[in-house]
Chains A and B, each alone.
Chain A
């Protein structure tokens, strides 16, 4: 009986291809939207996780002031070189430490100029940030101590200023400071927040403080923790030491913050996951709208086919035959929409992932869910019109023009 209903439904769909297509368009778009949203969202989450892992593990970031939400920070004195030395000396869990202050400036070489961020730091920067050199060398000890005018370029800066040329040994100008290029960093690409990590120039901290910033401040201290040591314990030790050094009494809050990169990672991937769910939910609403579209067309179709229903009832169809026919028709239509939607989503996901440079992460679950949902839409929204058809009086239906 179901088989017969399927046969009749397929005949009816074949008979009006254009209308059938328009009927299922809503479902097609709904299913495709849900799958594409979830796929791209998962890709973005995977990308964020991967990029944060590339920053180096067990990283703590120490900054003066406390976050007060919405990107604001409370005012607090910066760190100095003694803070760094004392951390290095007293906290055994620290594997590497990198003081850092930065400012933006324009670098000039010949006729080329490029606005970038200048970072004053030391060789700890390489270990903590997981950076490699593409060419040249790191800072020499005497350069760090004396604050010599040397710098290491990020790949983006190198490309913009030198093009195909080798910059090592050349001199660039930063404001009034002439600076010798001693090395180039290996390319790292975009950060998790979407900024270009290679758009930077490194120079010895002292050089930066004296020649660019004009103060003794250290704005950020990055610390990487020894493998096997507890990040939490190190965080507590650092906090205790810095409170002591900054003379914070017992009942006062910290005027600095120690952030674990893992927490930032969790926060960021959490955000993208919530966003994915939200987009998926919005797309699911369009599936619902698609279902209402099917109901609409089925109701019109039942009215239009009143006479046909009368004929069927007269020649021996029972109410349930007619009910089944229209219900199966709705389910076949919506499932067909689901299948086309899945195919469309496959194509669109590949295209979008490529365009947005997001890894393609297909989850079979979402395909199954989207397909079952589209079938369910057929059952739910097909039932009402089908029941209307099944309950017709054959005599009245036959008289219908």
Chain B
């Protein structure tokens, strides 16, 4: 395994144990993983295999019990909670299965939210949010609230919110889990475009081999360990 410094994500012996003593439950049993900048990775595996735990750690929402996670060379486990929040604010974007938009809040305001936390001035914030909505094909829907949008549209708003900050890493947790196959393909093409055109690194959890097919690389989890890690044939 080569170890030059360009890797965006480096996991070494990452372990995550929930609970203590008799009740302790090992979710991740020592994982080594490198993801280079610009990759599009699909993470697969049955439920309970540790892939969600791994995503939480990659997203700096959780820290390893043991082992090392370096993001851009920074040891995340040594950061405080609010330093990790800053890391998420400046370098990460999240897309969830359930969209997780703010209710009773317009699409534009939802997309603006991460920019507000960056302290961006109102006019720039507005125009960047509008441009992000345009990139996901939702021009003209700015003033609609999530309740007035279809599932596919809501997920597009969520993607716009994730990419509006131009993150280095986009983490997507079953982004097509609630969508039909047509909408799913549209969302996947959108993600693939952001990956290839803007060079945003994407790590995506999915159950569906079809969706995983959009990624260049597939990592299969089983019982808290990486079972298989291979490139998709069409990308080799």
Q: Which A residues form the contact surface with B (CB < 8 A)?
A: 1, 4, 7-8, 11, 15-16, 307-308, 310-321, 394-395, 398
B85 in contact with A319 (CB, 8 Å): yes
Select from chain A the residue with minimum beta-carbon distance to B96: A398
- Distance in angstroms from A325 CB to nearest chain B CB is 10
- Distance in angstroms from B55 CB to nearest chain A CB is 10
* 16 residue pairs bridging A and B, Cβ less than 8 Å apart: A4-B119, A308-B102, A310-B100, A314-B59, A315-B113, A316-B86, A316-B88, A316-B89, A316-B92, A316-B117, A317-B85, A318-B85, A318-B89, A320-B82, A321-B117, A395-B62
CB-CB < 8 A to A319: which residues of B? 81-82, 85
Q: Is B10 in the interface zone, CB < 8 Å from A? A: no
B61 in contact with A394 (CB, 8 Å): yes
B116 in contact with A15 (CB, 8 Å): no
A7 in contact with B116 (CB, 8 Å): yes
**Residues of chain B at interface, number, CB under 8 A:** 31
Instruction: With a 10 A CB-CB cut-off, give which of B92, B101, B117, B161 has the most chain A CB atoms.
Output: B117
- Distance in angstroms from A55 CB to nearest chain B CB is 65
Select from chain B the residue with minimum beta-carbon distance to A3: B119
Leading 10 A-B pairs by shortest Cβ distance: A316-B89, A318-B85, A318-B82, A315-B114, A316-B88, A15-B104, A316-B117, A311-B100, A394-B61, A395-B61
Interface residues of B in 55-70 (CB under 8 A from A): 56, 59, 61-62
Main secondary structure of the interface of A (DSSP, over half): helix
Q: Is B195 in the interface zone, CB < 8 Å from A? A: no
Q: Which B residues form the contact surface with A (CB < 8 A)?
A: 56, 59, 61-62, 81-82, 85-86, 88-90, 92-94, 96, 100-105, 109, 113-114, 116-119, 161-162, 165
Cα distance A164–B102 when bound, in Å? 76
- Distance in angstroms from B10 CB to nearest chain A CB is 22
Residue from A8, A11, A307, A315 in contact with B88 in the complex, judged by beta carbons closer than 8 Å: A315
Cα distance A141–B62 when bound, in Å? 107
B102 in contact with A314 (CB, 8 Å): no
* A1-B119 contact, Cβ under 8 Å, with A319-B85, A395-B61: yes
CB-CB < 8 A to A4: which residues of B? 116-117, 119
Cα distance A394–B161 when bound, in Å? 18
B100 in contact with A307 (CB, 8 Å): yes
Cα distance A11–B56 when bound, in Å? 30
Cα distance A231–B192 when bound, in Å? 101
B109 in contact with A313 (CB, 8 Å): no
A11 in contact with B109 (CB, 8 Å): yes
Residue from B62, B116, B161 in contact with A8 in the complex, judged by beta carbons closer than 8 Å: B116
- Distance in angstroms from A223 CB to nearest chain B CB is 77
